[in-house]
Amino acid sequence: MSNPVLEKKAKQAQVIYEDLIQRFGIDAIPTTFVADERREAQFLKACYKDNPFPPPLNITILKKRLPGVKLLFQDETILQTPAIAAVLSACSSVATRIGELRGDNVDGAETYCDVAFAGMQAIRLYMADHQGWEFQKSRILSGIRVNNAFNGSFFKYKAKDGRDVSFHVYYQSQLDKLAAALPFSKPGTGYNMLSMTKDKAEMRKVVSQYDALELEEKSFECGACGCMIRSREEWEATEVGQAVKNMPLIRLDREGKAAKKLKLGKPTARGPLSGIKVLDLTHIIAGPACSRVLAEYGADVLLVRRGKFTEQEQAMLEFDGWAGKNSIQLDFNVPEQLEKCKELIKQADVITYSYQNGTLDKFGLSEAEIRKLNPNVIYANLMCFSDSVWKDRPGWAPLAEDITGLSVRNGSLEQPVNLNGVPLDYFPGMILALGTLLAIVRKITMGGGYKVTTSLTRGAQYLHECTDLCEQSLEGDFSSRVADRANTNQWDNVLVPVGGTAVGYACFPNRATWNTFYPANPDNLRFTDGNTGWSQK
């Protein structure tokens, strides 16, 4: 018995995939989108297993998992699941091309993409599991801090002019700035999950004193961020909306006069990207989602952190992004450690960057300075507003939903509804991974240094475009096909267990694609902490 919702999503994925491979001239391997009706029962069962928190906190994460999973098997107003399936399938084709360029005979390689597992990629944050009290405590405290009355993912407030606003201050430093910029009764440290009920009443009172656009400007001016919730038409009428709409989905530019080709031997068992060094200068979810995809295909990813994984302020949000990475702890205020980072930059084939524009400039780590250190590097860059007129403004995925009209299209102007999970983190990260893979192909074939650019808001705009595309027609002469089964045991388990990590035992959501020539390698998800340099894998 088939699942008609999954079949529809598979057909939608075909439409979006066809657009992608034509848009970027991808030499696609045979691709099948799988609509397996067994997934719903399998996923619901997994919600109750492998819970990272002890009672009664396990109920809190369960309340996130269950609604998220149920929505995967319902029709989507905004087509996030088919779009994710299409981008990840395109990544599989380009990764195969890289393996071929390195000497593998990839004849017969195919991609199978399970659309239910593609949808799960947007709720990875809720599904990942780990054991060990030290890290449990770190994530619990992180969750208590971030789940407060300011959290725009959950709460919208009515401004004086009747328009809704949302605030996005997921770092304590941003919350402190916003609390000081507006007439709140206590400093930012006084707002958390435990005081939420009382705090929401105060939020409503303070917000009602200002017009929505006034609050948006005050939020950005103080170094935090918030926005008036817009319709798509309102967003596209703004200067920044026009700039983002007119950007290519992925901007891929050759930089400088460097012509050195990337020369590598045949891939190892790790995958087609084995031996490629990725220096990860990213944080939270979107940037790490890009480098995790690269790690899944075998890249050696070194993540730069100021402290141990268990000491990260946003351990609740960051954990899933550590999969497949090894970290090095560097404080750029210490000259010797800054020099170590610069040495690593010189050795890197790829650098991924997702901090606010200009954050690392004071350390001599601007894009231009990085390019001087390594003219041949691929610099993969993802921020909220990219290189638009708002390029220096901070931003978060839920803000990208609210400001671009996605949450209004998903609900209404009177009752905006955010998307399922955090797709505007994961999806743009996957788009950046696709762009990085395309840049690696060019680096192998033509040589040179490259810059890859996309953004959270460009990813949001593309979700509008994908939805528009599928509303026109689901019929066509497609290079891909749809099936209700795939002859693989890859998806027998919802979560992939990974031992020997920096926090002990861990489980991460299974990947959505099965490449018959480069099957998933669980060892590629292992992560370590406190390294002194590139790992030897």
Mean pLDDT value across residues 206-225: 97
Residue 479, pLDDT > 50, answer yes
Say what the pLDDT of residue 537 is. Answer: 44
Q: Reading across the β-sheet that carries 129-130, which strands appear in turn? A: 129-130, 504-509, 495-501
Q: For residue 64, what are the CA distances in angstroms to 125, 287, 300, 422?
A: 10, 23, 32, 12
pLDDT per residue as tens digits for the range 21-55: 999 999 999 999 999 999 999 999 999 999 999 99
- Give the tens place of pLDDT for each residue, 50-89: 999 999 889 999 999 999 999 999 999 999 999 999 999 9
pLDDT at residue 277 tops 70: yes
Q: Could you tell me the pLDDT band of residue 321, with boundaries at 50, 70 and 90?
A: very high
Query: What phi, psi does 257 have (nearest 5°)?
Result: -105, 5
Instruction: List beta partners, residue 531.
Output: 328
- Cα 94 to Cα 27: distance, rounded to the nearest angstrom: 8
Q: Determine the pLDDT at residue 134.
A: 87
Which is it for the CA torsion 433, 438, 439, 445, positive or negative? positive
Q: Does residue 535 have a pLDDT over 80?
A: no
**pTM over cut 0.95:** yes
CA 456 – CA 464 distance, rounded (Å): 13
Mean pLDDT of 259-270: 92
Distances (CA, A) of 315 to 44, 285, 303, 407, 475: 25, 11, 15, 26, 44
Q: Give residue 2's pLDDT.
A: 76
Report the relative pairing of strands 164-167 and 157-158 from DSSP bridges: antiparallel
Please state, in angstroms and rounded to a whole number, the distance separating the CA atoms of residues 515 and 222. Answer: 47
Tokens at residue 249, please?
């989905």
Instruction: Give per-residue pLDDT as tens, 96-144.
Output: 999 999 999 999 999 999 999 999 999 999 999 998 888 999 999 999 9
CA distance 91 to 433: 7
DSSP 356: P
3-state secondary structure 84-139: HHHHHHHHHHHHHHHHHHCCCCCCCCCEEEEHHHHHHHHHHHHHCEECCHHHHHHH
Classify each residue of 362-390 as buried b or exposed e, where b means 16 or more C-beta atoms within 10 Å of its C-beta. Answer: eeebebeebbebbebbbbbbbbbbbbbeb
Average pLDDT value for the chain = 96
Distance CA 415, CA 520 (A): 41
Does residue 288 have a cis peptide bond before it, meaning omega lies within 30 degrees of 0? no
Alpha-carbon span 286 to 395, nearest angstrom:
11
pLDDT at 536 over 70: no
pLDDT for residue 384 is more than 60: yes
| Region 497-511 average pLDDT | 94
Q: What count of other Cβ atoms lies within 10 Å of the Cβ of residue 222?
A: 18
Please say if the pLDDT value at position 180 is more than 60.
yes
Amino acid identity for residue 68 in this structure: G
* Separation CA 431–CA 289 (nearest Å): 10
Interhelix angle 212-221/172-181, rounded to 10 degrees, is: 130
223 burial via Cβ count (<10 Å: 0-12, 13-18, 19+): middle
Question: Average pLDDT in the 221-248 region?
Answer: 97
Over residues 302-311, the pLDDT tens digits come to: 999 998 888 8
- Domains, the chain, ranges and CATH? 4-144+248-393+422-531 (3.40.50.10540), 157-228 (no CATH)
Q: Are strands 350-353 and 251-255 parallel, antiparallel or unpaired?
A: unpaired
Contacts of 228 (CB under 8 A, 6+ apart): 159, 163, 164, 165, 212, 213, 215, 216, 403
State both tokens at 75: 């029709």
- Amino acid (1-letter code) at residue 250: I
- pLDDT band for position 1 (cuts 50, 70, 90): low
Show the tokens assigned to 501. Answer: 């990590």
The predicted pLDDT at position 310 comes to 84
Supply the DSSP symbol for 308: -
Mean pLDDT of the region 335-347: 97
How far is 427 from 417, CA to CA, in rounded Å? 18
